[in-house]
DNA sequence: AAAAAAAGTGATGTATACATAAAACAATAC
DNA sequence: GTATTGTTTTATGTATACATCACTTTTTTT
């Protein structure tokens, strides 16, 4: 990763570390440790941590430090509930405003998703995550509403804390041993292409709920 | 205001200045100017500005600074659209989870709102703003979903940029010369007290839309 | 030996000096 | 007169030294 902007670099690096399970819930992210390991001063690290706290990715104790919030089934329900409805709104809005290029973009992603090689490997998992992110945040972007987009992005990332935590999900397989995402992504995209706002919204809500249920099958 | 925590002090002071119309859209909030006028160093000011940017109060240009976002009818439609639906969700959730104390809290606010003295004065305006914030963010809190609450808070404040800009609104009067907010607040609260999630949601959505329409009557 | 007081530790909180880059301006070429 | 390049300005971006406060450990007192 480029170090042009140290603040941005610190921000992205810390998120990356969190998503790569570098820390466990309750761990303190010390400014000095991070600045050492990222090889920059405390200032940009401190800045990045503040943002992450403001955005709700981290919790903070005054004069003590920032720490990874403890995930709870309750909190997961809250994120996914918010995410479900907000992405539903975004999908409806996307169905209204999507250009031909946007729709092509979504179909391309689904093609890529179907053709990920060596499913089950670490590389395949990373590919799925990347494509999935592009799809969901893509629809958020296509909604043309920067507020919806921002909230989608936030709840998406926050929900990914859980997806990485209970990472059984990214086997990418449902209980029947089949991938559900590409099919659902396809249906959503079709609804958007058909300009069917309500259907796009409903399918997206259902899709997010499916993700949640697959994750928390045992909770 | 106490200066125990300089970062908090800076944060609150800057918000206060913004809300008191100290700046106009497009104005840059310079770190050095602010730190001079608040009589502290750039560090806490810079920190506060970062938070305000993260929270969407301010926009930022890299290496240039933080500035008051310029309102546009398009942007206003986007904020109010997002706010309408998210506050609708929060109201539904609040109808489900509100405690007796919560409901009393809401009724108390409505009482206070009805009894604001000397309508039309600057003091009355500030009182309305304060009460209105407590009501809307109160419902967000009562939803018991911290994500919904966060998005409510964000879109609420962002929409307030417009409310303060076109401040005809806080005459508090509708085209017929009557205050509409207390009545709508009362109806929403009743729906919450009745545990009628759908009604609470619909009324809240309608209420936010009313606010928008009163603001943009001429746009 | 238990409790209270005091000193020590280690992190964040704050101020400030310096580096860097965007933007404004001036000078020059055309 | 306009466009383009070079210089200056100025505010942010970054590093770092020092202050402060919560917490821990040690010491003292009873």
Task: Give the helix, strand, coil percentages of chain B, each rounded to 5.
Answer: 70, 5, 25
For B57-68, write each residue's pLDDT tens digit.
899 999 899 999
If DSSP codes are grouped into helix, strand and coil, which group holds residue A24? Answer: coil
Neighbours of A170 (CB within 10 A): 17
pTM for the whole structure = 0.85
Q: How confident is the model at residue A110 (pLDDT cuts 50, 70, 90)?
A: very high
Residue B175 has a pLDDT of 43
Is the separation of the CB atoms in A198 and A122 below 8 Å?
no
Strand order from edge to edge, sheet including A65-67: A28-29, A65-67, A59-61
Q: What token pair was written down for B101? A: 């104390």
Residue A104 has a pLDDT of 97
For A31-90, write each residue's pLDDT tens digit.
999 999 999 999 999 999 999 998 888 999 988 999 998 888 899 999 999 999 999 999
Average pLDDT, chain A: 88
What distance in Å separates residue B14's CA from the closest CA in chain A? 17
Q: What token pair was written down for A20? A: 């790569």
Q: Rounded to 5 degrees, what are φ and ψ at A115?
A: -100, 20
Residue A116 has a pLDDT of 87
CA distances from B68 to A1, A144, B151, B207 (A): 32, 22, 20, 27
Is the separation of the CB atoms in B93 and B148 below 8 Å?
yes
Residue B170 has a pLDDT of 47
Nucleic acid strand D: bases within 7 A of protein CB: 11-17, 20-23
Q: Residue B62, CA: closest nucleotide via C1'?
A: D12
Residue B164 has a pLDDT of 67
Minimum-distance CB partner of A50 among B5, B47, B147: B47
Find tokens 């809290």 and name the residue: B105
User: Which position has the higher pLDDT, B175 or A209?
Assistant: A209
For B83-123, write each residue's pLDDT tens digit.
999 999 999 999 999 999 999 999 999 999 988 888 777 78
Is the separation of the CB atoms in B65 and B59 below 8 Å?
no
Nucleic acid strand C: bases within 7 A of protein CB: 10-17, 20-23
For B148-189, write each residue's pLDDT tens digit.
999 999 899 888 877 766 654 444 444 444 577 889 999 999
Q: Residue A43, CA: closest nucleotide via C1'?
A: D14
The mean per-residue pLDDT over the stretch A92-115 comes to 96
Beta-bridge partner residues of A61: A65
Q: Rounded to 5 degrees, what are φ and ψ at A60?
A: -145, 140
Predicted confidence (pLDDT) at residue B194 exceeds the cutoff of 80:
yes
Domains of chain A: 6-67 (1.10.10.10), 73-215 (1.20.120.530)
Would the Cβ of A63 be found within 7 angstroms of any atom in strand D?
yes
CA distance B75 to B80: 9
Residue A174 has a pLDDT of 46
If DSSP codes are grouped into helix, strand and coil, which group holds residue A115? Answer: coil
């Amino acid at each position: 990763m480029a170090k042009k902007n140290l603040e941005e670099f610190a921000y992205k690096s810390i998120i990356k570390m969190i998503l790569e399970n570098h820390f466990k819930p309750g761990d303190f992210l010390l400014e000095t440790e991070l600045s050492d390991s990222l090889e920059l001063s405390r200032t940009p690290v401190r800045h990045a941590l503040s943002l992450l706290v403001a955005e709700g990715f981290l919790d903070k104790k005054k004069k003590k430090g920032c720490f990874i919030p403890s995930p709870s089934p309750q909190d997961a329900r809250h994120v996914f509930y918010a995410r479900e409805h907000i992405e539903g709104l975004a999908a409806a809005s996307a169905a209204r405003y999507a250009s031909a290029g946007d729709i092509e973009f979504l179909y391309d992603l689904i093609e890529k998703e179907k053709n990920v090689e060596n499913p089950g490997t670490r590389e395949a998992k990373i590919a799925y995550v990347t494509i999935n992110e592009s799809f969901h945040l893509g629809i958020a972007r296509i909604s043309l509403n920067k507020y919806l987009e921002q909230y989608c992005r936030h709840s998406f990332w926050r929900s990914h804390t859980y997806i990485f935590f209970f990472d059984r999900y990214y086997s990418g397989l449902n209980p029947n041993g089949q991938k559900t995402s590409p099919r659902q992504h396809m249906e959503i995209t079709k609804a958007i292409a058909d300009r069917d706002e309500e259907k796009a919204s409903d399918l997206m809500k259902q899709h997010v709920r499916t993700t949640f249920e697959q994750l928390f099958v045992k909770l």
